């Protein structure tokens, strides 16, 4: 009976909820990672998630690439200073970022984190 209930639930849930659930399940399997919703600020953390948005700031002598990473429980903005692009980094890419988590204007951020691509 639970299999039928699960199937019906999957059919009625939104695509966004289903995607968040799949990301959460995958992120929980990454060793040493913490959920964004539970991540401590101003401490070194490892977060597994999916790229949900990319923005390039092409200012002269101050360019940066900004990526929004979501793990299904929250979102963190990671900034790569001095970069306009990173090969292989695109929307929907699964990544693991590691660095010091900060908060600015109510948003969680990481500056120049260690980046790892995963499958």
**Other residues' Cβ atoms within 10 Å of the Cβ of residue 82:** 10
pLDDT, residue 1, reads 54
Supply the pLDDT for residue 111.
96
- Per DSSP, helices labelled H in 59-114 are none
Please give the pLDDT value at position 5.
73
Q: What is the pLDDT of residue 87?
A: 93
pLDDT digits (tens, 9 = 90+) for 53-69: 999 998 878 899 999 99
Q: Where are the alpha helices (DSSP H) in the chain?
A: 2-12, 15-28
What's the pLDDT score for residue 101? Answer: 97
Domain residue extents for the chain:
2-117
Q: CA nearest 48: which of 91, 90, 111, 93?
A: 93
Query: Could you tell me the mean pLDDT of each successive run of 10 residues in the chain, 119 residues long?
Result: 70 79 90 95 96 91 92 95 92 96 94 92
81 - beta bridge partners? 64
Global confidence as pTM: 0.84
| Inter-CA distances, 71 with 3, 4, 48, 56, 116, Å | 26, 27, 6, 22, 15
Q: What does the pLDDT read at residue 40? A: 96
CATH architecture, domain 2-117: Beta Barrel (2.40)
């Amino acid at each position: 009976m639970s299999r039928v209930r699960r199937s019906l639930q999957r059919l009625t849930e939104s695509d966004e909820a289903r995607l968040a659930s799949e990301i959460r399940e995958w992120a929980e399997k990454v060793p040493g990672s913490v959920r964004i919703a539970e991540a401590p600020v101003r401490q070194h953390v490892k977060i597994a998630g999916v790229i949900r948005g990319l923005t390039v700031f092409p200012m002269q002598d101050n360019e940066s690439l900004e990526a929004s990473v979501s793990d299904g429980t929250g979102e963190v903005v990671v900034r790569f200073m001095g970069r306009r692009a990173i090969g292989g980094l695109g929307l929907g890419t699964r990544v693991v970022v590691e660095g010091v988590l900060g908060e600015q204007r109510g948003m969680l951020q990481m500056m120049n984190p260690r980046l790892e691509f995963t499958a």
